[in-house]
Structure 1
Amino acid sequence: MKKSTRSLHLFSFVALLICLVPLLQACGGSSGSSSGNGPVTITVAYQQFGPPPYYEQQWWQSAKTKIEAAHPNIKIKLMPIIADEGSYYTKLDLMLRSNNAPDIVREDSFLVGSDVTAGYLTPLDSYLNNWSDYKNQWFPSMQKITTFNGKNYGVMDGTDVRAIWYNKDIFKKAGLPTTWQPNSWADILSAANTIKKKVPNVIPMNLYSGVPMDEASTMQGFEMLLYGTKDTLYNYQTGKWVSSSTGFKDALNFVKQVYNPSNLLGPTNDITLSTTAGNTVAQQLIPQGKLAIDIDGSWLGGNWETGGAAPWPQWKDTMGLAKMPTQNGQDPKYVTLSGGWAYSIASRSAHKDQAFTVIQEAFAKDLLGKYDIQTNGIAPRKDIVSLPEYSALPNFPFFTQLVNFTQFRPGFPAYPKISVQIDNAMQQVMSGKSTDDAMSSFSQSVQSIAGADKTETHP
């Protein structure tokens, strides 16, 4: 009988251990956990999509080798998420909600506010305040873009800016200067009208507009205008969305002039109101010499390089660049907008100190500089500009100077819905609706989205 009881107790003890093992493992926290006194494993998640080379993977592999050699207590596990952009957001969201969230995640700066609101990200201010490189080398705008409700949640790895691309050959045919810098919106429209009169069979200018091109219409199109007025989209001092303003109406009026059917300066609707308008502009109209002026992004030249989507060796001699002027040339005289990606620490990471050490080391000048050069990204660090390979990239010194005065989209959860309403307002004036009526519809939509108490009007 005793033998039977002893066996029963032994069986119960083993069964208890088996049940406890998963619980004990779960107590380790995120995938960055470790056992005993061994090294801590930090997991880094990022997007990987399309054909190689995968520069994100190359950057982190180099960082992994360097960091693990310098910090024996840290091991890095790379976690590429194979997905297009939309699917990446969805998969990352699911990961950040799980008990095994990655320690470090690649965040679109556009969505930092939403992910903070969801409770996914860790504020980094206590770390960043003690990182002299960050305080001294990251452009102030690049520090602000990842800030939400007064706290910073990410470190930018690269950015982009927007400017005016123009075809020097077409300008010469129109009798316009081939070194061109407009000082107001009126200067842009004047040049477009001159081209329309003097150079037939050429589209004078492109301004992305309407619903099909989504955020390109909002950011490359409308906000490049709005942020050049005295008004804005969001009032950070009052914490309210600006649902109607003189600047908003003026920006809509600019759109209306570009797409006025009786004096069309922009592409026809079959081009503009298409989800492929960006590809048509970059890969067909511009290299074929059919478009004179294009308000677009710093990445455009990548299409025309060897190995790009539309190789065009002559582009460096043919295409000129100008800064986008404010409405009437008022200070600060020029405007641009930036987006880009950052790396953040998940709120569920069990090893935040080690995770920040990984970010700090991976974002060193040499490692981040090589990554920005490979990806044709605009550097968020000022000192990367001094790297010869970076300065040699076509137009990159020009683009980098724009980061000094760049602005960016309001990083709040309501923004994506409000962005769609901006595109709606643009498309309405394209179709003949008055700017007053289009702005009134926008105002009502914003009040519905954000709440009447979270909106204000600027007369």
Structure 2
Amino acid sequence: MSLLVALTLPAAGCVGKPAGTDTGQNADVREYTLTISSNALAGGKNAAMAKWTTEYVIPKFVEAQKAKGINATVRFEGNGADDKDYKTKVALDLKTGGGADVQEIDGIWLGEFAQAGQAKPLADLVGQDKVDAWEGWSRIPPAVAALGDFEGRRYGVPVGTDGRVLYFNKKLFAQAGLPADWQPRSWDEILDAARKLKAVPGIVPIQLNAGTAMTEATTMQGVLPLLAGTGKPVYDNGKWQGATQNVKDVLGLYQTIYSGGLGDPLLQQEAKGRDKSFAQFADNKIGILLESDYFWRAVLNPANGVAKMADRDSAVGWARIPAQRPGSGVGGQDFVSMSGGSIRMVNPNTKYPRQAWELLQFMNSFDATRARVADTPQITVRSDVNDEVLKGDPMLTYVSKEVLPITRYRPGLAQYTPVSAALQQATADVVAGKSPDEAAAAYQQAVVKAVGEANVATG
């Protein structure tokens, strides 16, 4: 049984009747109290977010309300729990009519919360006109704003996001006779580059995450962007992909890479395989690697990366992930990507929906977003903030301008977790020597068991 239907005692916070049937509830009050919740804690997990909330958002918002003659009190409910435990707490709070007025949740949880009635579309809470009037929507690419959408309705505002690209080592590319401005336009062109890199001694031409040891990294930095490149995401028109031709094509690419000596199959089976791949790339031992912008700013960062690469800025190139063939990606796209991130939403139980929405807009305004990132180059969901804070970082600017407008997100449904695990196992089977057809058949059995045969597409 889903955690979202569990019961507990009401939690502290905004306990009241759901506001979904009264978008003007308490709209004209001159004094109110709101709470903000996120999985952040001063001196602990996501400490910078907690500091920004308490030292910037709350005093600045209260000051702005006071200037309008409104006495607002805003409190921060910090958490420092494991993501699973935090999700459980939020779900139980919402189920029993409690919880903070403004909630931050992982975007992948949204569909599950919405289906359980514990998240409501913003328009149902504050009115469509109030939602549409926010200037921020014009600054957030539609593909990014989709993180806060479910089944065509807008539930919240994305907090932050990322994008996935192909990284490549320019020094190894030069040795292989490949261009420094490489941009493949198909899977075949990726494979052509990998085969040329194979001639460079002592290196792995391409690292494409596979197997169960890399867990969700296999799905997000491997299977899902490749599936998007075949034209169909893993969840489409209410059904999960089973042993479709799309899935078989993705597994076929894995087979070509790992049975053809273009990738290191043993690396995919090691418990620390992903970390090892990071170190190998930084040591000029991997030619091409699919990863998120995290790889650039936190892994290879010459100053404080986990696998520092002293010449990162000159030696590392990046390119968009091509569709299987030009135009074959989702929506007819030539290039694809996947992103993750969290969203902020208005609690359906709040007694002050209009005020909570005003606070939510304030938290995602230009000034507040700019204050949150401070002087650290970091991709935000707002293009106007990115234009300012990323201008000194060409890679992150590239993701903001070229990748975010074409990105996609994981389906925010509880069933995603077992489907993702099944995809990881399918890639592990191929790396171990099974054919794409065999791996796809076993994958379909696992998905049918997890979601039911009626919810699986096979065509």
Task: Place the TM-score, normalised by the shorter chain, in its bin.
Answer: 0.7 to 0.9
Deviation of residue 90 (structure 1)? 3.2
Aligned amino acid, residue 143 of structure 1: A
3-state SS, counterpart of residue 73 of structure 2: strand
Q: Is the 8 Å Cα contact of residues 316 and 394 (structure 1) preserved in structure 2?
A: no
- After superposition, the CA RMSD in angstroms is 2.5
Deviation of residue 336 (structure 1)? 0.6
The answer to which of 408-417 and 334-343 deviates more is 408-417
2:156 & 2:378 partners in 1: Cα distance? 17
Is residue 2:48 matched to residue 1:55? yes
Alignment-derived partner of residue 390 in structure 1: 390
Alignment-derived partner of residue 32 in structure 2: 40
Q: Is the 8 Å Cα contact of residues 164 and 221 (structure 2) preserved in structure 1?
A: yes
Deviation of residue 53 (structure 1)? 7.8
1:183 & 1:200 partners in 2: Cα distance? 26
Gaps of 5+ in 1: 1-22
1:210 & 1:275 partners in 2: Cα distance? 10
Is residue 2:247 matched to residue 1:251? no
Greater Rg, structure 1 or structure 2? Answer: 1
Alignment-derived partner of residue 132 in structure 2: 130
Identity of matched residues, %:
27
The answer to which of 95-104 and 435-444 deviates more is 95-104
2:393 & 2:50 partners in 1: Cα distance? 22
Deviation of residue 186 (structure 1)? 1.0
Is residue 2:227 matched to residue 1:234? no
Q: Is the 8 Å Cα contact of residues 134 and 361 (structure 2) preserved in structure 1?
A: no
Aligned amino acid, residue 314 of structure 1: D
Aligned amino acid, residue 341 of structure 1: S
After TM superposition, list the pairs within 5 Å mapping 1:93-108 onto structure 2.
93-108=91-106
Residues 85-136 of structure 1 show CA distances to partners (whole Å, capped at 9, x for unaligned) of 3333333334434454111111111111112223322321335633331332
Normalised by the length of structure 1, the TM-score is: 0.85
Alignment-derived partner of residue 18 in structure 1: none
Alignment-derived partner of residue 381 in structure 1: 382
Aligned amino acid, residue 263 of structure 2: G
Alignment-derived partner of residue 4 in structure 2: none
The answer to which of 396-405 and 76-85 deviates more is 76-85
3-state SS, counterpart of residue 174 of structure 2: helix
After TM superposition, list the pairs within 5 Å mapping 1:214-293 onto structure 2.
214-236=215-237, 239-260=238-259, 263-269=260-266, 271-282=267-278, 284-293=279-288
Is residue 2:314 matched to residue 1:317? yes
Deviation of residue 327 (structure 1)? 0.7
1:267 & 1:69 partners in 2: Cα distance? 57
Q: Is the 8 Å Cα contact of residues 160 and 377 (structure 1) preserved in structure 2?
A: no
3-state SS, counterpart of residue 433 of structure 1: coil
1:333 & 1:373 partners in 2: Cα distance? 35
3-state SS, counterpart of residue 336 of structure 1: strand
After TM superposition, list the pairs within 5 Å mapping 1:82-231 onto structure 2.
82-125=80-123, 126=127, 129-197=131-199, 199-231=200-232
Deviation of residue 322 (structure 1)? 0.7
For the structure 1 residues 328 and 457, does the alpha-carbon distance in structure 2 shift closer, same or farther, using more than 3 Å as the test?
Answer: same
Gaps of 5+ in 2: 1-9, 18-25
3-state SS, counterpart of residue 82 of structure 1: coil
Aligned amino acid, residue 297 of structure 1: S
Alignment-derived partner of residue 294 in structure 1: 289
2:212 & 2:164 partners in 1: Cα distance? 20
Q: Is the 8 Å Cα contact of residues 149 and 155 (structure 2) preserved in structure 1?
A: yes
For the structure 1 residues 358 and 274, does the alpha-carbon distance in structure 2 shift closer, same or farther, using more than 3 Å as the test?
Answer: farther
For the structure 1 residues 242 and 348, does the alpha-carbon distance in structure 2 shift closer, same or farther, using more than 3 Å as the test?
Answer: same
3-state SS, counterpart of residue 201 of structure 2: coil
Aligned amino acid, residue 62 of structure 1: Y
For the structure 1 residues 124 and 52, does the alpha-carbon distance in structure 2 shift closer, same or farther, using more than 3 Å as the test?
Answer: closer
Residues 428-457 of structure 1 show CA distances to partners (whole Å, capped at 9, x for unaligned) of 111111111211222222222222222222
3-state SS, counterpart of residue 386 of structure 2: helix
Matched length? 422
Deviation of residue 39 (structure 1)? 3.4
1:82 & 1:47 partners in 2: Cα distance? 6
Q: Is the 8 Å Cα contact of residues 55 and 374 (structure 1) preserved in structure 2?
A: no
Normalised by the length of structure 2, the TM-score is: 0.85
1:118 & 1:277 partners in 2: Cα distance? 37
1:87 & 1:363 partners in 2: Cα distance? 26
